[in-house]
Amino acid sequence: MGFLQELAGRVEEVAAAGGKFADAFVRTAGATLSGALAFVDREIGYAQRAAKRKTDSKVESRRRPDDK
């Protein structure tokens, strides 16, 4: 019976170590994905502002100067 108890203890240790590894892996992957999404969101914002500035400058260059 002592052998089975020792074996059960080792299985629990391996399961706990595997759980720690899985937890660390998920946290790392989550942090990486979160960082990538934040980067993409920021780049989309930059592109939108650049497109707006480009459109605004075209509209201003097409306007006739006011005669006073």
Global pTM?
Answer: 0.51
Residue 47 in this model has a pLDDT that exceeds 90: yes
Q: What is the pLDDT of residues 22-40, one digit of tens each?
A: 888 888 898 898 899 999 9
Q: Give the HSE-up count for residue 20: Cα atoms under 13 Å, Cβ half-sphere.
A: 6
CA distance 10 to 4: 10
